[in-house]
Amino acid sequence: MNKYIVIDGGVSSPKGFLSSGIHSGVKKSGKNDLSLVYSEVPAYSWAMFTTNKACAAPVTLSKSHIQDQNIQAIVINSGNANACTGQKGLSDAYEMATVTASALNIAPQNVIVSSTGLIGLPLEMDKIKSGINKAVSALSVNGSEEAAKGIITTDAHLKTIAVQVTIDNKVVTIGGMAKGSRMIHPQMATMLSIITTDANIDKAYLKYLLNDTTEKTYNMISIDGDTSTNDMVAVMANGKACNNELNANHSEVQSFANAFAFVNEYLAKSIVADGEGATKFIEVQVVNSNTLASAKLAAKSILTSNLVKTSLFGEESNWGRILCSIGYSGAQFDMDKLEISLVGDNKETIKIVENGQSTVFCKESAKKLLKERNITILVDFKTGSQNSIAWGCDLSHNYVKINSSHIS
């Protein structure tokens, strides 16, 4: 039973957090392009970053600053990724941290920096620096929505969430915001996710929790198979809820872990649901595998197959494409036991593969099911007890149209 409740809000919902989002002038549209998240006290923190070796300057800087695990501010600009910009880019990222730190009267190493947008262009630092000071002045407990607006690029929808859970008779709040709608692939993607909480939590356990949750959420989504230069998921915990310190042995730690997992899964799924040109939200469940590794390999392979994705866009029950993607995934399975089913919004289930071969199913019923927005592909290996779940979307004409017009 879930013991957390969803509330209105986002990153500044937990006690002791403020946030803001403003227009600095980087985006010519006049929309918000710079966001700030600030904790009134140093917060235990951890972050995970892109595995792309062509990582952006802010990633390099933030990897260094997060090692201290005491972060008080996160500054994010959109409209320019500050990626592939050489030594100047590194200097600019550091200057973003120092300007933020000076305005907040904190140490530069207690600031992490993120950028998102076009690759290869130098930052307009005059606009960024004046924007940071403007964002500091705008900090508010009610700034979550404006902050969420300031980090998006091609997103069609804001991605923000807050939940509360009671720990040691204290109300603990977790807030979050994210961005991302393309270049999304396991091992993160062109996505940013910022999680805040007022929980009092052990540093080592916070690090474990973020690593474990990221592996089960952000690393289990895919839109187009591209991993970006700027990906980051970060968490800040400032202890303002005054609960007894959460660690692996705390009697109520699972309640917090469940709430934390919900926040991150919600944000990860919101990214996929906002996939550029997407018409379908696809959930893949691989169950009863001998190993977790095989279940994950199969789930990811189905989601990243362009042939599967285009079939789903065309609302065709092409079971052979699904089976083929499992076959080359590297997963270990018994072909003679394999089952595949399609599940619709109303839980209607159509088995399309049994014992590794096509079933006699009604193509018209399958076509009708595939017209729904939310579709689950259920794969049963029937060889073990390990399960995995992943999320993705279809590949439409509109995705190609949208991305053919981007210069970076």
Active site residues: 190
Gap between the Cα atoms of 82 and 84, Å rounded: 7
Contacts of 272 (CB under 8 A, 6+ apart): 184, 221, 222, 223, 278, 281, 391, 392, 393
Could you give the 3-state DSSP secondary structure of residue 295?
Answer: helix
Which of 270, 194, 200, 185 has the alpha carbon at shortest distance from 235? 194
User: Do residues 96 and 104 lie in contact, with contact meaning Cβ atoms separated by under 8 Å?
Assistant: no
Residue 264 and residue 220 in contact, taking contact as beta carbons nearer than 8 Å: no
Angle (CA) 45 268 76, round 5°: 50
Q: Which residue has the tokens 């710079």?
A: 34
- Positive or negative torsion for Cα 321, 324, 330, 332: positive
User: What distance in Å separates the CA atoms of residue 339 and residue 349, rounded to the nearest whole number?
Assistant: 12
Cα separation, 63 vs 244, whole angstroms: 29
Q: What CA–CA distance (Å, rounded) separates 292 from 57? A: 35
Contact 189/268 with Cβ under 8 angstroms? no
Cα–Cα distance between 147 and 160 in angstroms, integer?
A: 10
